[in-house]
Chain A
C-alpha cells in the first residue's frame, strides 16, 4: 500500500473527518500535544534544572517575572523561595503530572477491564467479591481513598502516588466493562462463537472486548484530567510526590504562603498551566464522548 492511499484512507475515516472539523476538539488536542512536547523536552527546553543543586542560587529567591521591575531575563516567569525558576519547574512538573496521569489511566483501565470482564463473564462468587470491593472503594470516593492510603504509607514517592490512585481508581472501568459484558453475554454472536468451539479467553478478547471498548476510551480521556487534578491535589496537601521532585501541586502549595506578600507569580503560572492542561483534555474528551455515543448521534 502506498503512502498516498494510506493518507486518503485516513482522511476518509469518519472519526478523523469529524475531528478535523471540530475546532474545540482540535484546539484541545493541539494544546495537549504542546504540553506533552514541553514535558518531554523539558531537560533541553528549560533554562535550568530546578532540582540540580549546583545550578540553584539562593540569592535569586523570589524574583518577579522578567517584565516586572527587578525581574531577570534568566528567569522569564520569576523564581520561588529557593531560587528555582518558575518556568523550569513548571516544565519538569508537567513531566510528573503527565507521567502519573498516563500511567494511572493505563494501569487502571487494564486492571478494570480484566476484573470487570472476569466478574461479568463468570458471575457467581468471583463477581460478588469483585463487586463488593468495587462498592467499598466507590463509596469512599477516589480522592478520599487516595489521601487515606498515602496517609498510611511509610514513604511517599511518585510510585506510591501512582499505586494509591490506581487502587482508588480502577472501579469505574470495572463497572463499565462489567455492564457491557452482562449485556452481550447471551447475545447471538457470543453463543455462535461458543458453538464454533471458541474458548472463554478467545470469546472474551476477540468477541466481547472490541464491542465494549468505546465507552472505555471515553472514560480514559475523562479520567486523565481527573487523575492529573488528583495528583496535584495530593501534592498540594503534602501527601503526594516528595518535596525533592517537581510537581505543579507542590509549587502552588509553596506559592500559597507568599500570596499575602503580593507575590502572585508563584501560584498564578503553575495554576494556569494546570487549568489549561485540564481544560484541553476536557475539550478533547467532550468530542470523544459525543463521537463514540451512538445514542447522541441519533438525536442530532
Chain B
C-alpha cells in the first residue's frame, strides 16, 4: 500500500509529459518579441527547468491575455468549481448509494427495474446532452430554474460563495444535477453489485439471526463492506469529474475553472492552460491520498506502515 503510494508520488513529479508539451507548443506560438519578453526564446529545457523552479514556489507566470498572475486567475475561479463539484459528489453519493441499496434489497421489483433502466440512460446519455435536456425542461419549458450563471454570491473571507443565498442555490441545482448524472449511475451499479454479493454472506445471516434491526444489518454490516470498492471508484473517477465539470460549466456559463480553461484554449493562453493542468494533477493526487486514508477508516484491518 505504502509502496504503491510512493510510486505514485514519484512518477507524478518526475515526468509530466503534458507539461512539456504545453511548453513546447508555446515557443512556436508567439511572435519573436513576445517570445523574448516571456523568456520563450531560451532553449526548451531551460524554460522547463525555470518553469518547474517557479512552479514549486507557486509562481506559474502571467496570463498572456489578462496580464495577471495565472495561478491567481485560476484560484479566483476555484470556489465556483469547488461548490459545483462538491454538490455533485454529495448528490451522486447519497442518491447513488441509497438507490443502489434499495435496488439490491428487491432485485425483481418494478421500482428496481425503473431505477436500473434510468441508470442505463445515465450511462448512455452524454453529459452535455443531459445538461441541455435539463435546461429545456426546467428553464425553457417549466421556467422554474434559471438557465445559466451563478446567481447572487456572498463574499466570506477570501471565498465567494453562492450557497448562502436562495438565488445562488436555485442556480446550482441544474449544473449539479448535470455533473452528478454519470457518477450517480456508476455508483448505483457498483453499490448494487456489491450489496447483492455481501447480502448472501454468512455474517449477514448471523446478523439477521441475532435479531438486529434491518437498519443495523443493512447499513452497519452490509453497506460498510461495500463502500470500499465504491469509494475507490469514486476517487479514481475524480479526473472524469473534473473533465465533466468543464463540460457542465460551458453549458451553464458557470464562472468556474473549466470555462476559464476553454476561453484560454481558444485564446492560446498557455500559462493559464499549464497552470490548470498542474492544478488538476495536484487535485487528483490529493483525492487519491484521501481515498487511501478513507480505507483505513472503513476497514481497520488495512494498516499503513
A-to-B contact residues, CB < 8 Å: 132, 135-136, 138-145, 147-154, 225, 229, 232-233, 236-239, 249, 252, 256, 259-260, 262, 264, 267, 271, 274-275, 278-279, 282
Contacts and interface: CB of A to CB of B under 8 A. Distances in A.
B280 A144 contact: yes
Given A144-B242, A232-B126, A151 B265 contact: yes
A256 B140 CA distance: 12
B11 interface: yes
A237 B246 contact: yes
Contacts of B261: 147, 151
Nearest to B261: A151
A132 B12 CA distance: 9
B136 interface: yes
B45 to A, nearest CB: 18
A163 to B, nearest CB: 12
A292 to B, nearest CB: 19
B126 A141 contact: no
Interface residues of B, number: 53
Given A136-B11, A154-B29, A274-B126, A260 B240 contact: no
A154 B28 contact: yes
Given A139-B288, A144-B280, A148-B277, A252 B239 contact: no
Given A239-B265, A262-B140, A282-B123, A256 B132 contact: yes
A136 B247 contact: no
A224 to B, nearest CB: 13
30 contacts: A132-B7, A132-B15, A136-B17, A139-B8, A139-B284, A140-B281, A141-B243, A143-B239, A143-B240, A144-B280, A145-B239, A147-B246, A148-B273, A148-B276, A149-B18, A151-B264, A151-B265, A151-B273, A152-B22, A229-B126, A232-B128, A236-B250, A239-B265, A252-B132, A259-B140, A260-B139, A271-B132, A278-B125, A278-B126, A282-B120
Contact of A264 (B136, B246, B273): B136
A233 B25 contact: no
A260 B11 contact: no
B236 interface: yes
B236 A233 contact: no
A237 B250 contact: yes
A140 B239 contact: yes
Nearest to A232: B126
A140 B278 CA distance: 11
Given A233-B126, A271-B129, A274-B126, A140 B284 contact: yes
B136 A136 contact: no
A241 B29 CA distance: 20
A282 B139 CA distance: 31
B127 interface: yes
A117 to B, nearest CB: 22
A251 to B, nearest CB: 12
A246 B124 CA distance: 22
A177 B25 CA distance: 34
